[in-house]
Amino acid sequence: MTDAMTLHASSTAEMIVCDAVDKWYGDFQALKGVSATIAEREVVVVLGPSGSGKSTWIRCINRLEAHQGGRIVVDGVELTNDTRNIEKIRSEVGMVFQQFNLFPHLTVLDNITLAPRWVRKVPKADAEAKAMELLETVGIPEQAEKFPGQLSGGQQQRVAIARALAMEPRVMLFDEPTSALDPEMIKEVLDVMKGLARSGMTMIVVTHEMGFAREVADRIIFMESGEIVEVGTPEHFFTNPTEDRTKLFLSQIL
Amino acid sequence: MSGMITVEEAEEVVALPPEQPSLPPGEWIRKNLFSSIGNGVLTVLFALLLVFAFRGLVNFAFENPERDWDAVRANLRLYMTFAYPLDQYVRVWVSLGIVLSLSGLSAGLWSPDGYVSARRISTWFLGGGAVLLAAALAVQGQLQRDENGEFLIDEDLELIRGSWASGLGSRISWFALAAILIGAGAAIWFGLGDRRRNTFVRTVNLTYAGFGVIVGSLWVVRYGHYNGSPAEGTHYADPDSLVAMSTRLPWTVMWVLLGVSYFVGKAVRGWPLLKPLALTFWGLLPFFVFWVVLRDPDIDWAHVWTTDLPMYLAFAVIGGAVLFTLTNPSLGEIGRALAFVLLLVAVFTFVGGFFGWFSMLQKARLSFVFLAAFALVANNFAGEFAKRRTFVIGWLLTLGVMHYFVTLINSASTLNIRSDSFLGGFMFTIFAAVFGLMFSFPLGVLLALARTSSLPIFRLLATTFIEVVRGIPFITVLFFFSIMLPLFLPEGMEVAEHGAVIVGLVLFSSAYLAENVRGGLQSVRRGQYEAADATGLTTAQRTGLIVLPQALRVSIPPLVGQTISSYKETSLFAIVGIFDFLRIANNVVPNQSSPINFVGHKREGLLFVSLIYWIGSYAMSKYSQKLEKKLGVGSR
């Protein structure tokens, strides 16, 4: 990995703190008092059946969804309705989506340099040099001048990762990054994510890739019905789960 | 200047995929028109219907003794520019020259890569020749006249015609032209043989050659001509003189200008900044042509030195300093706060001026608004010194252009005009359409954004405006603005009727444009908003950089449709009494009794006007199809 992913020296061990987070969609409670603390450099994989609130939770962490109860603190800044805090946190937290969400009217290079240039005010030449470095890291520097529509799904997702990294975030959120990919493209994306994890990035990954969870995660959080059911190391989680709901989930997928 | 030039140009063989081979004519007719008995019957039926529908029209256009095309050709200047003073007419040509030069320059800079195959060019020539031949053959016998030149009639009061062959004599030139066209078409077709499918000519060259043929024909063909001087009462149509003696030289100059500027544009293609510069000039062009070239303002230089220039310098220096400070990246929130204060000052001076609280100069008010707008976006240009300097230079230039135009607008026109405006005819139609589009487009986008905004007050205002305007017929809006606008203006402020109806057009079409843009906005997927948010873009950046570019691309077809409608709707100005293109055909020419009597000759004018409107609309619709295709690349 290049210096694009170097660490930020920081004394805060706690990068993200969630305290009794509640979230409703109308009458439906999507998150029921979710509490968790993620340390710096930690890689957390969130598992759980569909509709368990995993995606909702990580989308609350960069305020794509507003939570209605409890507190969320990212890198010492609490998420409230204050726009300045939201913009600050969003530029510190990178996000990768299931559907890539690349900007179809911009080239790959422009996709990556857009936010650094407009949010961080990085000069164009510097932003492009940095973008090429990141494309090198994710293995597709030759695609820089193409449009997203001309790339395969795996390549698009790697561009999306590069786009998030271009802001030099302190935390990366992955919302089912491989779920929309053809099987043969999943590996190329997971490899990039593994490299990122090894470089010391703080990551929260919502995924169904058990192999990835077992290999890379420092901790696994299992959610169901908007609650955190069980938290543990991969070894504990896959070999010796304590909760019945966890056992049921594992028996269904393994 | 015939088709032979094109054959030579066609020789430049370009590496393009050959056109799909098409069926031989016999096969095509069988397959497409007579594939079954039912289809055959329908084909014959519709062919007959077409013949009957157009027989009267063709007969009127070419044979009817009541029609007099001199009503159009003797009045071409009236049609194009209405009452523009003759002694200043060179200004019209200068305007056209500026427009054509900029067109040529842009064509050179962007070098559009459209191509037409030799086969298609050949079919155009053959088709054109065939139509002309048919029209020449469809002639009826020549009308018989007595020795005084009056038409002879029989006992049923019908006109007496000679034999069919007697009519052919008057069509010799038609046959000649048809022969040239068919000959040229055949020469391309057979001369190139199988290569006709993969031999291509640039559309730019072809268009230029076509324009050249038309201009060249002014020197050769006898179209009829308006001669003499109206003041001396010797104004008469002279069908035997060469066409438009007064216009053939200017048109030739125009043609050369277009070509030269094209090559200049091509030569300087690689230079930096030229494209944005050209676009800026296009944006300023309508204002420049209208207020500087055509209006011929009488600038009060004493006032400029004592008031205008000091005011510009004051705003330039103080505003520049403020903006330079605001772009300091470490400033953060103070910048936005100051921008809002400036905006309040700007709005306050406007509203205050409305009620007569301040006697502040219009220019100072506008300068405050401009400064506030710059201050609002200043944060986006924060950064290193060079970037801040560019931003401040942008401010100086924008302010300068604004002050320049306001000074011109406030100066009296020196033109000696007999009408209430020097604008009229097709020139006014063009200005109305261009100004209408320039102002209604941004307004429409803003309305669409307001209507989809999360702030209820914006949503309410935009929705109300759009729904009210869409519920009122355009003609009502026009009457409203031409008669009732003064009621809404502060005391002492006057808007010429021409301006008032353009305001009406802007408001009317902006409501429709807004709905088209809103359709585009809805097509942008939610994920795009989330991705923009997740990278930390502000709402304004998200809208300008991510959402609008995608929404506008989707809205191109309806937007062009709306533009075409606005262009055609300018003809309704005729009803509120403005001497636009249509009114000249419908009211002015049919009432001319001197120097030549054209009383009642309405149909010729209406046919002519329809043709011109159609050419404009068709060109726009063709261009939009091209644009769609071009922008579609790489988007999916």
Q: Do A114 and B635 touch (CB under 8 A)?
A: no
Predicted complex ipTM:
0.89
Q: Which of A56, A61, A74, A90 to mutate to test the interface with B (most CBs of B within 10 A)?
A: A90
Q: Do A104 and B383 touch (CB under 8 A)?
A: no
> How far apart (Å, rounded) are the C-alpha atoms in residues B433 and B435?
6
For B99-111, write each residue's pLDDT tens digit.
999 999 998 888 7
> How far apart (Å, rounded) are the C-alpha atoms in residues A93 and A2?
19
- Measured in residues, chain A has a length of 254
> How far apart (Å, rounded) are the C-alpha atoms in residues B609 and B506?
23
Looking at residue B556, its pLDDT comes to: 84
Beta carbons of B225 and B238 less than 8 angstroms apart:
yes
Compute CA B355 distance to the chain's CA centroid, rounded to the nearest angstrom. Answer: 38
3-class DSSP assignment, residue B451: helix
**How many A-B residue pairs are in contact by the CB < 8 A criterion?**
78
Residue of A nearest to B548 (CA): A105
Query: Residue B298 belongs to what H/E stretch?
Result: strand B297-298
**CB of A58 within 8 Å of any CB in chain B?**
no
A226-230, B381-385, B536-540, B563-567: which has the minimum mean pLDDT?
B381-385
B289 Cβ neighbours under 8 A, 6+ residues apart = B95, B98, B99
Q: CA torsion A61→A62→A64→A68, rounded to 10°?
A: 40
Q: What is the pLDDT along chain A (254 residues), one digit of tens a residue?
A: 344 333 444 444 788 999 989 998 988 988 998 999 999 889 999 998 888 889 999 999 988 888 888 899 988 888 887 777 788 888 889 999 999 999 999 999 999 999 998 888 888 889 999 999 999 988 889 999 999 989 998 899 999 999 999 999 999 999 999 888 888 889 889 999 999 999 989 999 999 888 899 889 999 999 988 889 989 898 888 888 888 888 888 888 76
Q: Do A101 and B530 touch (CB under 8 A)?
A: yes
Beta carbons of B144 and B151 less than 8 angstroms apart:
yes
* Burial tier of B175 (Cβ tally within 10 Å: 0-12, 13-18, 19+): middle
Q: Return the CATH fold of B423-626.
A: MetI-like fold (1.10.3720)
**CB of A87 within 8 Å of any CB in chain B?**
yes
> How far apart (Å, rounded) are the C-alpha atoms in residues B443 and B514?
8
> How far apart (Å, rounded) are the C-alpha atoms in residues A165 and B133?
70
> How far apart (Å, rounded) are the C-alpha atoms in residues A191 and A1?
12
B618 Cβ neighbours under 8 A, 6+ residues apart = none
Of A99, A114, A149, the CB nearest to B527: A99
> How far apart (Å, rounded) are the C-alpha atoms in residues B139 and B207?
32
Which chain A positions have a beta carbon within 8 Å of B532's beta carbon? 103
Looking at residue B223, its pLDDT comes to: 62
How many CB atoms lie under 10 A from the CB of residue A25? 10
**CB of A174 within 8 Å of any CB in chain B?**
no
> How far apart (Å, rounded) are the C-alpha atoms in residues A55 and A61?
10
Q: Answer with the residue of higher pLDDT: B509 or A1.
A: B509
Which chain A positions have a beta carbon within 8 Å of B455's beta carbon? none
3-class DSSP assignment, residue B83: coil
Query: pLDDT-based confidence at B10, cuts 50/70/90?
Result: very low
Q: Which of A64, A92, A159, A170 to mutate to test the interface with B (most CBs of B within 10 A)?
A: A64
Residue at token pair 């031409």: B482
3-class DSSP assignment, residue A229: strand
Beta carbons of B275 and B84 less than 8 angstroms apart:
no
3-class DSSP assignment, residue A241: coil
Beta carbons of A54 and A226 less than 8 angstroms apart:
no
**Cα of A244 to nearest chain B Cα, Å:** 36
Q: What amino acid occupies position A122?
A: V
Q: Is B139 left (phi over 0), alpha (psi -120 to 50) or beta?
A: beta
Of the candidates A198, A167, A204, the one whose C-alpha atom is nearest the C-alpha of residue A90 is A167
Residue B297: beta bridge partners? B413
> How far apart (Å, rounded) are the C-alpha atoms in residues B274 and B108?
11
> How far apart (Å, rounded) are the C-alpha atoms in residues B352 and B389?
34
Q: Do B530 and A97 touch (CB under 8 A)?
A: yes
For B256-284, write each residue's pLDDT tens digit.
999 999 999 988 888 888 888 898 899 99
Pairing state between β A219-224 and A227-232: antiparallel
Of B384, B534, B537, the CB nearest to A62: B534
B123 token code pair: 């079919």
**CB of A123 within 8 Å of any CB in chain B?**
yes
Radius of gyration of chain A (CA): 18
The domain spans of chain B are 4-32+83-100+112-246, 299-412, 423-626
> How far apart (Å, rounded) are the C-alpha atoms in residues B229 and B328?
66
Looking at residue B356, its pLDDT comes to: 62
How many CB atoms lie under 10 A from the CB of residue B332? 12
Q: In degrees rounded to 5, what are phi and psi of residue B179?
A: -65, -40
Residue A230: beta bridge partners? A222
Q: Is B177 left (phi over 0), alpha (psi -120 to 50) or beta?
A: alpha
Strands of A28-39's sheet in order across: A28-39, A14-25, A69-74, A77-78
Q: Which of B384, B533, B535, B556 to mutate to test the interface with A (most CBs of A within 10 A)?
A: B535
> How far apart (Å, rounded) are the C-alpha atoms in residues B613 and B609?
6
Which chain B positions have a beta carbon within 8 Å of A104's beta carbon? 550, 635-636
> How far apart (Å, rounded) are the C-alpha atoms in residues A195 and A85?
30
Compute CA B295 distance to the chain's CA centroid, rounded to the nearest angstrom. Answer: 20
Of A64, A87, A104, the CB nearest to B530: A64
Q: Which of A114, A171, A175 to mutate to test the interface with B (most CBs of B within 10 A)?
A: A114
CA atoms within 13 A on the CB side of B6: 34
A160-164, B303-307, B352-356, B432-436: which has the minimum mean pLDDT?
B352-356
Beta carbons of B63 and B243 less than 8 angstroms apart:
no
**Cα of A84 to nearest chain B Cα, Å:** 9
**Cα of A240 to nearest chain B Cα, Å:** 37
> How far apart (Å, rounded) are the C-alpha atoms in residues B612 and A176?
58
Of A97, A103, A119, the CB nearest to B536: A119
For B439-481, write each residue's pLDDT tens digit.
999 999 999 999 988 888 999 999 999 999 999 999 999 988 8
